[in-house]
A and B are shown apart, each in its own frame.
Chain A
Amino acid sequence: MFQRLKSKPVDLAALRGGVMFTSEELKETYRRLAEPFPAEAIERTKAAVTHKGYDTSGIKYQFIVNRLNEVLGLGGFRVERTFTLRERQARSGQPMFEATCDLIMRLGQWESGQFVPFAEATGTGGHTAASEADAKKGSLTNALKKVAAMFGCGWQAYAGTLDDDNVPAALHTEQQDLRKNGNGNGRPSNGKSGGNGRITTMQLERLRTLVADVGGDWGRYRDHVRGEHKVNVEYADRRLADQLIASLMATVEKRKSNGGHPSGRPQ
């Protein structure tokens, strides 16, 4: 969810000669950011490559950046990045680098040499690679895509499954080690799900958040899912979880476009 700044650091109205962003302008900006991407923007990776036990899909980084530039204008967004790097060793003895990138993205405009933001979102990305540079680049890409999705840009890729960047096959053992250490994505693959295993903890948390965002009651929502799909939501498969998340997100968007306000939930 994107978070509107509660206190404006600069008097936007004064800077813009009395013109502020209207509610309609903000809605229109969101609508354009959230528009679907063309087929060539989607990257799909088979489970055999990711070794995640399921296929992943995402939107290519450059398409996200292009969308931000096209909608917001050149210089219409700004990022602050903080990297954390950890050196590890693969079982083969090869040195590995695990990078995380904490990223703040602000949307706004340059006014008299000063960037004036009107919205801000934060997020974290991660990547493991054999070189320090690749690890940092991957974590930045990962973080930027996730944060942009909070403004609606590329949200489709995260309607349920937060795909990490693609992991080269040679590193998959290392990635499994990371999962064991509790990065929140870890789950065994039973090899039979065809990318459709049990709902993940992240999906479950996403559903809970979205139910809260639409002002719903979790118990009643569980009853609803059980009635509609004959399954307790905790035992839904991932595809159903994705559908449920997409449906709730559509409800959230509909409410926003009908004049409701985003939740402002901190990231």
Chain B
Amino acid sequence: MIRTGRSRPERGGLHISASAIRTIQECPRDWFYRYVEGRPPEDVPPRLVLGVAMHEALATFYSAMRDGEDLPAPEALAVITASSIDRAAAAGSPIGFDDDESVETLKEQANGLLVAFMANGYRPQRVLAVEEPFALALSDPDTGEVLPYEERVVGAIDLVAEEDGRVVIVDHKTAARSDKQKGERADTQMAFYAWAAKQVLGEHEVKLRYQSVIKTKVPKVEVQTIALRKHDEREAVEAAAGAIELIHVAVAHPNGKRLMSRRRSWRCKECSYRRWCAEDRT
């Protein structure tokens, strides 16, 4: 018996998302600017805008499947991606286009990805839920012991499907290139989804899949089954607990920003705070 919607997020309280945890792990200073200072981004990477647009289109597609409605035509999905991109362009922060990029090229890229998705996208036997939200107290994945944090772990599972009577959790990715190794292990976000699915859906065994819509010259779709290792969920919970502890220390510290130091990487060149970060001194 699949039950959804048992743990609707209560965003009013203290919470942490897989995205925030990842940001803290990758660059604590980025997290500080974004979450603590609430600094508006200097610009938004086009790949994020495209990713959001594709998520909206795929959510519409799978919602129609879930509700037994006629599946939307590619043109209808293209309207959704175009609208999403237009909204991003009209929002406060500009899109960080390169010289040969624009809103129009982004829309064209989305159209190409949609064609690939319509031709080869994942088609489950049954769709159970789309963008299924959860807000859960952090608990030990083995013992179920609730850990002593006020923060709830929040998120939304892109797609909950059913195959041969088993629940499948699907995370949509918009990727620049194919990554055959991607399915070899669950990332923190997917490990959380597995952990959350057990509690939200009452399921102990779930299959995990990435559906990657890939921006190659000829766009394509790859659906990969993810091998969830025994310790992945534990590591995800540990990552969340560690992030929460860090947050508490940073907030309480007279110079929390200094504690949340920069972590230089390839991500810096498209970081939404790169100019401010270069000037900022703690």
Is the CB–CB distance between A232 and B37 below 8 Å? yes
B245: chain A residues at CB < 8 Å are: 188, 190
Q: A258: CB under 8 A from chain B?
A: no
Q: List the A residue with the shortest CB-CB distance to B13.
A: A201
Query: Judging by beta carbons under 8 Å apart, are B247 and A198 in contact?
Result: yes
Within 44-97 of A, Cβ neighbours of B (below 8 Å) are at: none
- Nearest chain A CB to B140 CB, angstrom units: 11
Query: What are the residues of chain B within 8 A of A196 when measuring CB–CB?
Result: 252
- Contact pick for B37, options A180, A199, A208, A230, CB 8 Å: A230
Contacts of B248 in A (CB 8 A): 187-188, 190, 193, 197-198
A204 adjacent to B14 (CB under 8 Å): yes
Within the complex, the shortest CB–CB distance from A150 to chain B, in Å, comes to: 22
Question: How many whole Å from A125's CB to the nearest CB in chain B?
Answer: 20
The tally of residues in A whose CB lies under 8 Å from a CB in B reads 30
In the complex, which residue of chain A has the Cβ closest to the Cβ of B251? A198
Taking a contact as CB atoms closer than 8 A, the residue among B13, B137, B249 that contacts A205 in the complex is B13
A232-B13 in contact (CB<8A): no
Least Cβ–Cβ distance between A101 and chain B, in angstroms: 24
Main secondary structure of the interface of A (DSSP, over half): loop
Most chain-B CB neighbours within 10 Å: which of A180, A181, A190, A197? Answer: A190
B104 within 8 A of A: no
- Chain B residues with Cβ below 8 Å from A222 are 38
Q: Say whether A186 contacts B35, CB under 8 Å.
A: no
Q: Mark A247-264, 1 if CB is under 8 A from B, else 0.
A: 000000000000000000
Q: Which of B145, B150, B249 contacts A187 (CB 8 A)?
A: B150
Residue numbers in A under 8 Å from B12 (CB-CB): 204-205, 208
B68 interfacial by beta-carbon distance below 8 Å: no
| CB under 8 Å from chain B, chain A span 193-228 | 193-194, 196-201, 204-205, 208, 222, 226
B29 to chain A, nearest CB (A): 14
Instruction: Report which residue of A176, A188, A226 has the largest number of chain B beta carbons within 10 angstroms of its beta carbon.
Output: A188
A182 interface residue (CB < 8 Å to B): yes
Question: How many of chain B's residues touch chain A, expressed as a range?
Answer: 20 to 34
Instruction: Report how far A208 CA is from B13 CA in the complex, Å.
Output: 10
Interface residue? B258 (CB, 8 A): no
Min distance, Cβ B15 to any Cβ of chain A, angstroms: 8
> Smallest Cβ distance from B178 to chain A, in angstroms?
38
Query: How distant is the Cα of A181 from the Cα of B144 in the complex, in angstroms?
Result: 12
Most buried by A among B35, B148, B150: B150
Residue of A nearest to B36 (CB): A235
- Contacting pair A232 B251 (CB below 8 A): no
Distance in angstroms between the alpha carbons of A48 and B43 in the assembled complex: 47
**Within residues 3 to 49 of chain B, which ones have a CB less than 8 A from any CB in chain A?**
12-14, 35-38
Question: Within B169-208, which residues are at the interface with A (CB < 8 Å)?
Answer: none
A132 interface hit (Cβ, 8 Å): no
Interface members, chain B 226-268 (any A CB < 8 Å)? 245, 247-249, 251-253
Q: A231 at the A/B interface (Cβ < 8 Å)?
A: yes
Chain B residue numbers with a CB within 8 Å of A226 are 37-38
Q: Hey, which chain B residues are within 8 Å of A232, CB to CB?
A: 35-38
Whole-angstrom distance between the alpha carbons of A218 and B247 in the complex? Answer: 23
Contacts of A201 in B (CB 8 A): 13-14, 150
A179, CB-defined interface residue at 8 Å: yes
- Complex: how many Å from CA A200 to CA B36? 15
Check: A234 CB closer than 8 A to any chain B CB: yes
Query: Which of B14, B145, B253 has the most C-beta atoms of chain A within 10 angstroms of its own C-beta?
Result: B14
- B276 at interface (Cβ–Cβ under 8 A)? no
Return chain A residues, CB-CB under 8 Å to B277: none
Chain A contacts for B147, CB-based, 8 A: 180
A-B contact pairs, 11 of them (CB 8 A): A187-B149, A188-B148, A188-B245, A190-B248, A193-B252, A197-B252, A199-B14, A201-B13, A204-B12, A235-B36, A237-B251
- Supplied contacts A196-B252, A232-B37, 20 more A-B pairs, CB within 8 Å: A180-B148, A181-B146, A182-B137, A182-B146, A186-B148, A188-B245, A190-B249, A193-B248, A197-B248, A197-B252, A204-B12, A205-B13, A208-B12, A226-B37, A231-B36, A232-B35, A235-B36, A235-B247, A235-B251, A237-B252
In the complex, the 5 A-B pairs of residues with the closest C-beta atoms, listed nearest first: A193-B252, A232-B38, A198-B251, A235-B36, A226-B38
